[in-house]
Amino acid sequence: MKVLILHNDFRVYWKGRLTYLKKFLNSNNIEFYAIELFGKGSPYIFDRYDNVEKWWSCLFPEQSFNELSVKKLKSALFAKLDEIDPDVVITGSIVFFSGALGIRWAKNHRKKFIMFDDAKPSQVKRNLLVQSIKDLITRQIDGMWLPTKDYDAEYAGLDRNNVVFFHGYNCINNELFKFNTSREIVGKVIVCVARLVPIKNLDNLLRTWKLIEAKNPEYKLVIIGDGPEFEHLNHLKTNLKLERVVFLGAVNNTDIPTYFYNASAFILPSLSESWGLVVNEALAAGLPVLLSNKINARNSLLKEGVNGFGFNPLSVSEMTDKINKYISLDLDTKMVMSKKSLEMIDEMSYQNMGRELVTALDKIVHKKHKKLSFFAWLAINFWHGKYNTSGWDKLDKL
């Protein structure tokens, strides 16, 4: 069996996943290939395209999506798919170039198609026509790969007899964040790792910290990350006369585990996160977490009062109460929370991702090919997707 995964680009967390899947699937007698469309233009601009693997191709390594015509993109992609001729194509959402063109090639060549997605449809604003077309195309997929079972209800309209649901792709290399020595929660530092953009809601976090400092002046807030809001946030810090807030800017990814290890807890106050993989990292480092209830990872990786606390990110008073509630816990309770975080993240590992995919592939390849209705065929063959990430970290997406 040949399996191919296709996406607009494979940056940051995808690199480790693909390398693991290549070895794991090969050990199960499955050939594995990866295609990314663009070498430039990723929203993760800090992570360059640097792949050298022969099984992993980038069609336009020196270009971004806005430098290419759909015709040129389609021609190059279809030629590469014809060359590899996979039995199963896996892509991200069909709203993007990769998903729209991937399902077109798969259905026109009688191949199986799997879609992965960590954005919940109920959280995305679309007009009725666009949503109807997306739903029509999505009903033609053979498999749905979601982060956790928490997402299943978002796709209640899919026929479970015809679509195989499976989970676990939104994982990281947990081992990179674990420590050989036993974890101790002895510091008085709460750490936040986030891009400095409006949707991360760091303004409210600073206003909250003004109240935290008044009651717990020994605690420090460390913010790791860079972005266009850097000057604004530092100006706000000065205006609020915050003495226990440190902006570290961008740090090397290999150094982040050390900052986690020296912290007492992790906080993320975002107004929206399709998932929030930094939460995985915090749990893998054994940190209790304080999370906005707008972070999708919260539903699976936070158990209230067990490994941390959740809060309404728009409420400074609620955020303050939850931080103070955590700070006031005794050391033994904090250590129990730390152990619970480690236990919970073990369920979202590379190993689990591989097992879920192999099990799903076995079911999918033995299913009959779906016969497309005229309108489904029309939608698939005329929709080519898009790749507009300009609003991915802005408040107007809410």
Q: How far apart are the first and last CA of the chain?
A: 41
For the stretch 327-343, pLDDT in tens is 999 999 999 999 999 99
Same fold, 2-171+349-397 and 175-345: yes
For the stretch 363-376, pLDDT in tens is 999 999 988 999 99
Residue 299, pLDDT score = 94
Task: Show the 3-state SS of 46-93.
Answer: CCCCCCCCCCEEEEECCCCHHHCCHHHHHHHHHHHHHHHCCCEEEECC
Give which of 235, 262, 201, 216 is closest to 394, Cα–Cα.
201
Q: Residues 114, 366, 166, 281: is their CA dihedral positive or negative?
A: negative
What is the model's pTM?
0.92
Q: Residues 97, 98, 100, 106: is their CA dihedral positive or negative?
A: positive
- Could you tell me whether strands 56-60 and 220-224 are parallel, antiparallel, or unpaired per DSSP bridges? unpaired
CA dist list (Å): 249 to 215, 224, 285: 27, 5, 20
Torsion, Cα of 44, 360, 368, 152 (10° steps): -70
Residue 398, pLDDT score = 44
Residue pointed to by tokens 């195309």: 137
Residue 394, pLDDT score = 54
CATH value of 175-345 in 1.10.3210.10, 3.40.50.2000, 3.40.50.300, 3.20.20.100: 3.40.50.2000
Type of residue at 181? T
Fold assignment, 2-171+349-397: Rossmann fold (3.40.50)
**In sequence order, which residues have a C-beta less than 8 Å from that of residue 381 and are 6 or more positions away?**
104, 108
Give which of 110, 90, 132, 145 is closest to 372, Cα–Cα.
110
Distance CA 72, CA 246 (A): 47
* 3 state SS of 155: helix
Residue 51, pLDDT score = 81
- In degrees and rounded to multiples of 5, residue 99 shows phi and psi of -70, -45
Q: What integer best gives the mean pLDDT of the chain?
A: 92
Task: Print burial letters for 209-225: b (CB count within 10 Å at least 16), e (below 16).
Answer: bbbbbeebeebbbbbbb
Residue 186, pLDDT score = 75
Residue 393, pLDDT score = 55
What's the token pair of residue 278? Answer: 């930094």
Residue 52, pLDDT score = 84
pLDDT < 70: residue spans in the chain: 45-46, 181, 387-398
* 3 state SS of 105: helix
Residue spans of alpha helices (H) in the chain = 13-27, 70-84, 97-108, 128-138, 202-215, 230-239, 256-261, 277-284, 298-301, 316-327, 331-345, 350-365, 374-382
Domain boundaries, the chain: 2-171+349-397, 175-345
